[in-house]
Structure 1
């Protein structure tokens, strides 16, 4: 890292946090699996594309998902108290774009593409996903601009073993 881009720990120095543009550029260099996070219930069916998904613990099995507070899907997910993380295969790139809002399809119309089934929570599971994790929300809080949501996994549907879809450098990649 060049000296002009090095930023000390702001908590330790009392300095301002790193520049948001520099942070986003740095994060764009980290490769991440691409997921479509879905929900369904009294608040309606919704979904979004996410790379901010990570395991928390295996006992009880749980995942952490981050979603922007301005997202329409976030409100439905929180109200439904359940979600499904669908890890995309390389052939599901079009779905990643649809649920990222890049195609003009909104709300329920996003689910007209792909084959979906329901798991225990009622959240849509993509039948072509590498794996689907069906979750009930166990904790949720707002951190700055995002909801940080932890879901306890109540069901897992394993899909075919095939190449994953990865996001890196602001582009999708097939492994």
Structure 2
């Protein structure tokens, strides 16, 4: 017997996660979402896994272009996270009005001030329930200093070193 959706969401909310943007496209086709469903796969070759709801334009554009980038947000970027979550009704290109954006060598969106901007070529795409799981080979990385923004129990948090 499967657990109900409410219990699942409450349980997953207990898992702290790095706040990221999954972005894709270029020019008028840029799309993006806020996500915590991002993780490393392997270092040989360096690969990243992202889970994207199939109803989103972001998923459709990743499937079309075969590319995505992940922006790891810093503690001062909660406003960007909220915009890409559509908190104020933003959609499509409107989300890119917040923050300073450029393009990586692959032509994908890159957020100024992100702790890491990781650009990938899709090597595998698998449907899983309402989402598509994309595994991407990392082709480009830009790093910046700072501390990560974390999401847990439906709120943004800062990390605190305890040992």
Q: Shorter chain as normaliser: what TM range?
A: over 0.9
1:155 to 140, 143, 147: 140
Superposed CA deviations along residues 91-122 of structure 1, whole A, max 9, x for unmatched, are 00000000011112221121121111211221
Distance 1:72 1:136 in 2: 18
Secondary structure at the counterpart of residue 21 of structure 1: helix
Rg larger in structure: 1
Matches within 5 A, 1:24-173: 24-41=9-26, 44-160=29-145, 162-173=146-157
Q: Is the 8 A contact 1:68 1:74 kept in 2?
A: yes
Could you tell me which runs of 5 or more consecutive residues in structure 1 were left unpaired when the two chains were aligned: 1-15
Q: Is the 8 A contact 2:124 2:136 kept in 1?
A: yes
Q: Is the 8 A contact 2:28 2:93 kept in 1?
A: no
Distance 2:27 2:134 in 1: 19
1:174, CA displacement in angstroms? 2.4
2:10 matches 1:19 = no
Partner of 2:158: 174
- CA RMSD for the aligned pairs? 1.4
Distance 1:108 1:41 in 2: 10
Distance 1:134 1:28 in 2: 27
Superposed CA deviations along residues 55-105 of structure 1, whole A, max 9, x for unmatched, are 000010000000111112211121111111000001000000000111122
Q: Deviating runs (4+, > 3 A) in structure 1?
A: none
**How high is the TM-score relative to the length of structure 2?**
0.93
Could you tell me which runs of 5 or more consecutive residues in structure 2 were left unpaired when the two chains were aligned: none
